Amino acid sequence: MADSPGKRKTAKNRKSLATRAVHAGEPRKRYADSITTPIIQTSTFTFANTKAIEDYTKKGKMRYEYARYGNPTATIAEARLADLEGAQDCVVFSSGMSAITTTILSLVQSGDHIVITDDSYKKTLEFCKSYLKQFAIECTIIPFGDYHILEKAIKKNTRFIFSESPTNPYLNIFDLVKIKKIADRHNVLTLIDSTFATPYNQRPIEFGMDIVLQSCTKYLAGHNDILAGAVLGRKELIDKIRDLHKSMGGTIDPHCCYLLLRGLKTFPLRVKYQNESALKIAQWLETHPKIKKVYYPFLKSHPHYDVATNQMTGGGGVVSFDIKGSLNTAKKFLDALKLCFIGPSLGGVETLITHPALVSYYDYTRKQRYTLGITDTLFRLAVGIEDTEDIITDLENALK
């Protein structure tokens, strides 16, 4: 499988993404000749003698000391993720939110200002607008897609622009080329949560973004069985984040890291299939008489179709759609599904469907939800790896 789109193929002589997802970051000569990665299940590492201590403390010899500061299984996951994303370095975390909050805190000081787009992940947004205030860090939330407002929001003390692409649930696409130009004009950092895309569909570092965040819980691990996160970027930035991570302590467990590495081996296969399946489902939904609107970045009807097809390989595995009818119609549709599971999250092998009004935004009033575009009849379908026709049949029967 080649990296595509071909026009953005990176370094020459590099193996394709599919091959690197299986092998990158790991020496060919394995521990005990095992083909799989060892799980070094330990909280501490021992020193053979005082010379070993001094080699480490005084001469800076690379080794492990205590599991919060690093673990060999995690090191391999970090090297593999960095390779796939085309980043110099990576730190893995116990969750995506741990990666995001630790990264943000490592970059700001009181008196700083940050800019974030309004349809960022709900918990990221909450952290920026409420929690950072306690440290006198000011946050401007700007409407997604308005690059003029975005540029005007930047001040002298702005440290970074944080965004996401694609976003939830409308799968808006952030124009990485435009944002890079704005960031360069004002000398601010760019942080992008690329969870919905994965490095199969989009590699923001190739567009000059400074930091990429991933919730590996989703496509990268891919089996709905672990939480994990990662931050990727230039070494000097990642070093700072790794330092703070040692204090914050959102350390990933080695066994969890093993599951992440196992999931990574098949992620290009899964995402390729999920791209194709989601596009077919989106096209089918668009023709269905009971559907009001479909949101999928690789549909021509999507407002960001051109940007999406320019910066992404595929549209990803998430399709959002609005059905005709009322909240009651929406509930009936959900209750009639037999294959798709009702549940949050995305990126795993099982197809999941969520109803944002009843789940993520249950604590908002109807009016608040509607201003955010979260209607009573909006659904987000996270397509798994089941047969496309079986998913369509399930949706069709439930819509009846």
Ligand X SMILES: *Cc1c(COP(=O)(O)O)cnc(C)c1O
Q: Which of 74, 97, 176, 271 binds ligand X (CB under 6 A)?
A: 97
Segment near ligand X (CB under 6 A); pick from 46-54, 92-100, 103-111, 285-293: 92-100
Q: What is the CA radius of gyration of the chain?
A: 22
Nearer Cβ to ligand X (40/227):
227
Is 95 near ligand X (CB under 6 A)?
yes
Nearest in space to 381 (alpha carbons), one of 326, 337, 329, 325: 337
> CB nearest ligand X: which residue?
96
Q: How far is the CB of 191 from ligand X (least distance, A)?
A: 12
**Piece of 135-143, 212-220, 281-289, 307-315 that binds ligand X (CB under 6 A):** 212-220
The stretch among 93-101, 151-159, 231-239, 303-311 that binds ligand X (CB under 6 A) is 93-101
Contacting ligand X (CB under 6 A), which of 138, 175, 193, 376? 193
Among 70, 96, 315, 316, which residue sits at the site for ligand X (rule: CB under 6 A)? 96
Closest contact distance (angstroms) between CB of 97 and ligand X is 4
Smallest distance, Å, CB 382 to ligand X?
Answer: 10
* Amino acid symbol at 304: H
Of 96 and 199, the one with the shorter C-beta distance to ligand X is 96
Nearer to ligand X, 38 or 343 (CB): 343
User: Phi first, then psi: what are they for 163, rounded to 5°?
Assistant: -145, -175
Contact criterion met (CB below 8 Å) for 317 and 306: no
Instruction: Report 105-134 residues binding ligand X (CB under 6 A).
Output: 121
CB of 229 to ligand X, least distance (A): 5
CA nearest neighbour of 100 among 162, 187, 174, 165: 162
CB atoms within 10 A of CB 283: 15
Quote the distance between the C-alpha of residue 14 and its chain's center. Answer: 24
Helix (H, G, I), strand (E, B) or coil at 69: helix
Return the residue of 78, 112, 164, 322 that touches ligand X, per CB under 6 A. Answer: 164
Judged by CB under 6 A, does residue 169 bind ligand X? no
- The residue (of 96 and 297) whose beta carbon lies closer to ligand X is 96
Closest CA to 231 of 75, 78, 353, 27: 78
Instruction: Name residue 192's beta-bridge partners.
Output: 163, 212
* Nearer to ligand X (CB atom), residue 297 or residue 398: 297
Q: Is the dihedral of CA 375, 370, 119, 313 positive or negative?
A: positive
Residue 113 vs 218, nearer CB to ligand X: 218
Which residue from 172, 167, 174 is spatially nearest to 195, judged by alpha carbons?
Answer: 167
Residue 227 touching ligand X (CB under 6 A): yes
Query: Which of 20, 113, 218, 302 contacts ligand X by CB under 6 A?
Result: 218
* Span near ligand X by CB under 6 A; candidates 40-48, 210-218, 274-282, 310-318: 210-218
Stretch that binds ligand X, among 146-154, 211-219, 291-299, 360-368 (CB under 6 A): 211-219
Q: In whole angstroms, how close is the CB of 95 to ligand X at the nearest point?
A: 3
By beta-carbon proximity to ligand X, the closer residue of 129 and 288 is: 129
Residues numbered 247-306 forming contacts with ligand X, rule: CB under 6 A: none
SS3 90: strand
Q: Which stretch binds ligand X (CB under 6 A): 49-57, 62-70, 90-98, 355-363?
A: 90-98
Rounded to whole angstroms, how far apart are CA atoms 189 and 192? 10
Give the one residue of 217, 224, 274, 360 binding ligand X; rule: CB under 6 A. Answer: 217
How many residues line the site for ligand X (CB under 6 A)?
A: 13
Residue with tokens 């098949």: 266
- H helices within the chain, ranges in order? 17-23, 50-57, 72-85, 96-107, 122-126, 147-153, 176-186, 198-201, 235-248, 254-287, 305-311, 327-336, 366-371, 388-399
How many angstroms from the chain centroid is the CA of residue 52?
A: 39
Reported as type and span, the H/E element at residue 134 is none
Is residue 357 within 8 Å of residue 205, measured between CB atoms? no
- Choose, by CB under 6 A, the member of 195, 198, 202, 354 that binds ligand X: 195
* Other CB atoms within 10 A of residue 187 CB: 8
Residue ranges in contact with ligand X by CB under 6 A: 95-97, 121, 164, 193, 195-196, 215, 217-218, 227, 229
